[in-house]
Structure 1
């Protein structure tokens, strides 16, 4: 079962790398997004909030200082969320606030990342 989760995470990271290619000028990559948020996956699937989750969210938020970075992070989040089955999107939307972080868009598969500023 654990190897299945690792394979899904690896697929999500690979998918994020492919999605990030058009955003190469941005400082953030989908690999960075995936690695920072990997500790949150268990929580988003119904488990307890892991110790590294909020730290990863805070680090990612600090790294997304420009509009292109925020757009890239948004697209990476959407791709990863679609690739990982069983994500509770209500928990995903509330996670930044739980960690004391404000982001300028909702974490949702329906978010229009092109509208992110």
Structure 2
């Protein structure tokens, strides 16, 4: 469960990358599922994000339809990361470049999800 919650945090960061127009909101269960494999990297147990981590985050980013989706994913990830001991902010910030995902804002545990555009 903790791995899923951390994954949610990572996925919400990916949703910030893409801005689309729609009124759909991504459920936390989807975010959890897509980001779960990123936990081992974010806690320092793996030297790099796994292919499954990057693939899940790419899929999540592609599913963003609106700013509300990005904010919802961010909130899911922030809630999830609180349940994982050892998550390192410096490792979270490395995931977008390691997975070759472009981000227009800093990836951080302390991000304010409501300021996402």
Query: Normalised by the size of structure 2, how large is the TM-score?
Result: 0.74
What are the ranges of 5 or more consecutive residues in structure 2 without an aligned counterpart?
A: 10-22
Relative to structure 2, which stretch is displaced further, 101-110 or 67-76?
Answer: 101-110
Decide which of 40, 43, 67 is 2:41's aligned counterpart: 43
What are the ranges of 5 or more consecutive residues in structure 1 without an aligned counterpart?
A: 1-6, 17-24
The structure, 1 or 2, with the larger RCO (C-alpha pairs under 8 Å, 6+ apart) is 2
CA positional deviation for 1:104: 4.1
Report what 1:29 is aligned to.
27
Structure having the larger proportion of residues in helix: 1
Q: Aligned pair count?
A: 100
Q: 1:104 to 1:34 in 2, by over 3 A?
A: farther
Which has the greater radius of gyration?
A: 1
Alignment RMSD, CA only?
2.1
Report what 2:19 is aligned to.
none
Report runs of 4+ in structure 1 exceeding 6 Å deviation.
none
Query: Normalised by the size of structure 1, how large is the TM-score?
Result: 0.74
